[in-house]
Chains A and B, each alone.
Chain A
Amino acid sequence: GDSVTQMEGPVTLSEEAFLTINCTYTATGYPSLFWYVQYPGEGLQLLLKATKADDKGSNKGFEATYRKETTSFHLEKGSVQVSDSAVYFCALGGSQGNLIFGKGTKLSVKP
């Protein structure tokens, strides 16, 4: 069945460092792909999305490109801030209309 695999955390970075969180997926067809972010004590909120191959989603300095050939959707940011500390979830749109999430990657950014 459809599934998402993302890199294990936690990830600890210094402010202004470059961030990459890897995400790969297994799915039939070409699902939409998403990154969600969860700040402490809150629910998940959409960070960015891509609906077809080679699309690049971007928001708040974060980017991810839908790579069909490598079935990947890696999240990147050139310069992280302390306020980016959160848990990041990769997800794909399932064939049944639901979202299938990865296990999440906790990011801690130190000043």
Chain B
Amino acid sequence: DAGVIQSPRHEVTEMGQEVTLRCKPISGHNSLFWYRQTMMRGLELLIYFNNNVPIDDSGMPEDRFSAKMPNASFSTLKIQPSEPRDSAVYFCASSRGTGLELFFGSGTQLSVL
């Protein structure tokens, strides 16, 4: 199994630009999670989906952030417009069911200048 695949691994952009992060979960997993990791705030849950439906998006910091899961094998996290304080590592994770082991991707290192 290829594991959770995230792209890009690194993204450098300028303030105000749109950023799209992509995630392909493990086949057969029906829950997908987006986390953000920073030194100051640690690991924060942004949003998670179950069977492609958003269950809890209370962690999405503001309206500039949006996430979609159009099918069981693909999800995106979009930031528009991006700001320097969005700089962080963004992780996608998937699991088979809820409350079970999460499998993490390698993350996207985002730098907004």
Residues of A that sit less than 8 Å from B by CB:
31-32, 34, 36, 41-46, 49, 89, 93-94, 96-104
Contact = CB atoms under 8 A, between A and B. Distances in A.
Nearest to A99: B102
A32 B99 contact: yes
Interface residues of B, number: 22
Interface of B: 4, 31, 33, 42-43, 45, 48, 50, 55-56, 91, 93, 97-99, 101-107
Contacts of A49: 101
A43 B104 contact: yes
B106 A98 contact: no
A42 B9 CA distance: 11
A37 B102 CA distance: 12
A101 B38 CA distance: 13
Contacts of A104: 42-43
Most-contacted residue by chain B among A41, A43, A45, A99 (CB, 10 A): A43
A49 B95 CA distance: 15
B31 A97 contact: yes
21 contacts: A31-B99, A34-B101, A42-B106, A43-B4, A43-B104, A43-B106, A44-B102, A46-B102, A93-B99, A96-B55, A96-B56, A96-B98, A97-B31, A97-B48, A97-B50, A98-B33, A98-B45, A98-B56, A101-B43, A101-B45, A103-B43
Contact of B99 (A43, A97, A102): A97
